[in-house]
Structure 1
Amino acid sequence: MNSIKTFIILLFSSISISLAQEKVLFFQTDWGNQLNYDAFCERVKDAGYDGIEVWRPSKRESQTSLKEAIAKHGLKLIFLHGTNKGLPFKESLEDYKNNLEEILKWNPILVNCHTGSDFYTYEENHAFIEAANSLSTKYNIPVYHETHRGRFSYSLPETNKYLTQNPELKLTLDVSHWMVVHESLLQGKENLLAPVIDRTHHIHARIGHAQGPQVNDPTAPEWTNALEKHLDIWEAIIKKGWKEHKGIFTVTTEFGPADYMPTLPYTRLPLSDQWKANVFMMEAIKERLKLSQ
């Protein structure tokens, strides 16, 4: 009898430990930020975030300020990177590789890429994906490719073509882009979403709708259906990701500033507060997953 009780206690203890290890690391975007890195990172830390997602600064003094700020405030770093679509293909590919290698030398926890172009051929986009995969392996740092309008991943069916032909392709899912591209909340597209969910390793959390990539206020009741649809997709991805990433998954809250944020005419005043919208996204995901606060 005592041995049975001991087994039950150990079983429930192991379950509790497993659940305690499952967490989401939340990152705040610096998109639209007007603060210096120190003040921004302090605000990010105070709001309960684990890190920031930023483009690498071009100026050396800004790079130094960024390094000092994340170290001072104990934050993790995700870098954004992208294909320069304004250059001829070969020049753009070399630029992409050179800058990605410089970024990887910073040792971020991952790099999120705006990769390729919707005007490139499959072969041209594939070259960017292969270059990223090669450098990711060289530095042992994940490089994920964001689903984004204007890139190879501009639509759900097009992205599935790349997933089928590129077994090493890993995604950052910003599903808000596809809501507007396909003018729907993707109802009935579960068969196409399944491979995307399976290959997503990072999330950009923003609420889109059938007529735009960002609702004016995610707390407004008229957007409840859109919010719940996004949360359904994110929950499936995170729970799958916990199994693949030792109980840890990363999410960047990414509501953008005006004019990405809808604004009033003439004054261009945003219809809601970008910072509050992003913090709301973090809390909504925590609530959905019942994560400890």
Structure 2
Amino acid sequence: MKKYHLHTFFAVLLTTFNVYSQEKKLLFFQTDWGRSTSWDAFCEKTKAAGYDGLETWFPKDEREAEELREALNKYDLQVGFLNGTDKSVPFEESLRAYTENFKNIIAWKPAYINCHTGSDFFSFEQNKAFIDAANKIARKNKVRIYHETHRGRFSFNLPDTQKYLSAIPELKLTLDISHWMVVHESLLQSQDSELNEIIDRSSHIHARVGHAEGPQVSDPEAPEWKKAVGRHLDIWEKIIRKKWETQDFFTVTTEFGPPDYMPTLPYTRVPVSDQWKANTYMMKALRERLNIE
């Protein structure tokens, strides 16, 4: 018996050593939100900036799909796809389309699938039906499917999201906490204990910085946003280090958006800062925070 316990002890010790001795990685994905160039040009720029992949909605037609596939292969980039609930059609029709969309997406073997799931006007049971459908597909196909915290969706605020987490043990989140900053009109400084389960259940991050009055600061490098940027980095670091306890990589999408998400000057609609620069800055800031070269 003692010999068995000793063998078990060393096996656990070796497993723990292997987990912590592996190089911990952050895999960064660039959003194609606002893209105005060809897939080839966009992927070339994405790779040159140091990204591991990109995140996009699944192509609408075969020609665009082929252009995307060729560019991904040419520049050795991974892809994370988005899937979403269409809130403009009846529930049953929307659920059917949402479920069908996974078939085409899964065939590409994406790094993950990030979902804009449900609606803040659907019932709990209706939103749960979308989540359950996605979880069933994730299990069957062994694909990573996450559900983004997002205004207008089931996860539009912290308290309601907690209800879904309690009811659905398999529910995994993409945390875009910038949405909650504006919904709750705060940086959630007094909600650290409430965020613990959110941190535990977050498997992907959208690295955009919000604030009490909006989902996107004008420029994350500006000194007036130092507190907001620091708060987001603190939360993101907790999530990443938590996941690094059991896995050697974590995925992050830098997701500062274009106008009109990006604030603009009146009349001219000229953006007040550069979207690409904001996103690459967030990648740099996370690398520095987590001591990754």
The alignment's TM-score, normalised by the length of structure 1, stands at: 0.93
- Could you say which residue in structure 2 is the equivalent of 1:58? 60
Out of 194, 200, 221, the position equivalent to 1:192 is: 194
C-alpha distance in structure 2 between counterparts of 1:75 and 1:19, whole Å? 26
Cα pair 1:147 1:175 within 8 Å, conserved: yes
Q: Which amino acid aligns with 1:158?
A: D
How far 1:247 sits from its partner (Å)? 1.1
Cα pair 2:19 2:248 within 8 Å, conserved: no
Q: Which amino acid aligns with 2:259?
A: A
- Could you say which residue in structure 2 is the equivalent of 1:109? 111
Computed over aligned residues only, the root mean square deviation of the Cα atoms, in angstroms, reads: 1.5
| Match runs of 1:59-208 below 5 Å | 59-208=61-210
Classify 1:267/1:74 alpha carbon distance in 2 versus 1 (closer, same or farther; 3 Å). Answer: same
Gaps of 5+ in 2: 1-12
Cα deviations by residue, 1:204-243 (Å, 9 ceiling, x for unpaired): 0000000000000000000000000000000000001112
Cα pair 2:29 2:55 within 8 Å, conserved: yes
Cα pair 1:112 1:143 within 8 Å, conserved: yes
How far 1:109 sits from its partner (Å)? 1.1
- % identical equivalent positions: 58
Cα pair 1:33 1:40 within 8 Å, conserved: yes
Cα pair 1:207 1:215 within 8 Å, conserved: yes
Say whether residues 1:261 and 2:262 are aligned partners.
Answer: yes
C-alpha distance in structure 2 between counterparts of 1:66 and 1:102, whole Å? 14
Cα pair 1:177 1:208 within 8 Å, conserved: yes
C-alpha distance in structure 2 between counterparts of 1:123 and 1:98, whole Å? 20
Q: Is 19-28 or 280-289 further displaced after alignment?
A: 19-28
C-alpha distance in structure 2 between counterparts of 1:99 and 1:150, whole Å? 20
Cα deviations by residue, 1:16-63 (Å, 9 ceiling, x for unpaired): 994561010000000001011111000000000000001011110000
Cα pair 1:25 1:50 within 8 Å, conserved: yes
- Could you say which residue in structure 2 is the equivalent of 1:242? 244
Q: Secondary structure at the match of 1:52?
A: strand
Q: Secondary structure at the match of 1:189?
A: helix
How far 1:15 sits from its partner (Å)? 7.3
- Could you say which residue in structure 1 is the equivalent of 2:253? 252
How far 1:106 sits from its partner (Å)? 1.1
C-alpha distance in structure 2 between counterparts of 1:188 and 1:279, whole Å? 30
C-alpha distance in structure 1 between counterparts of 2:22 and 2:102, whole Å? 35
Q: Which amino acid aligns with 1:279?
A: T
Q: Secondary structure at the match of 1:261?
A: coil
Q: How many residues align?
A: 279
C-alpha distance in structure 1 between counterparts of 2:103 and 2:205, whole Å? 23
Cα pair 2:138 2:144 within 8 Å, conserved: yes
Cα pair 2:19 2:245 within 8 Å, conserved: no
Classify 1:168/1:17 alpha carbon distance in 2 versus 1 (closer, same or farther; 3 Å). Answer: closer
Q: Secondary structure at the match of 1:188?
A: helix
C-alpha distance in structure 1 between counterparts of 2:211 and 2:255, whole Å? 15
Cα pair 2:20 2:245 within 8 Å, conserved: no
Q: Secondary structure at the match of 1:26?
A: strand
- Could you say which residue in structure 1 is the equivalent of 2:30? 28
Q: Secondary structure at the match of 2:95?
A: helix
C-alpha distance in structure 1 between counterparts of 2:229 and 2:38, whole Å? 32
Say whether residues 1:277 and 2:278 are aligned partners.
Answer: yes
C-alpha distance in structure 2 between counterparts of 1:168 and 1:101, whole Å? 20
Gaps of 5+ in 1: 1-10
Cα deviations by residue, 1:269-292 (Å, 9 ceiling, x for unpaired): 000000000000000000100102
The alignment's TM-score, normalised by the length of structure 2, stands at: 0.93
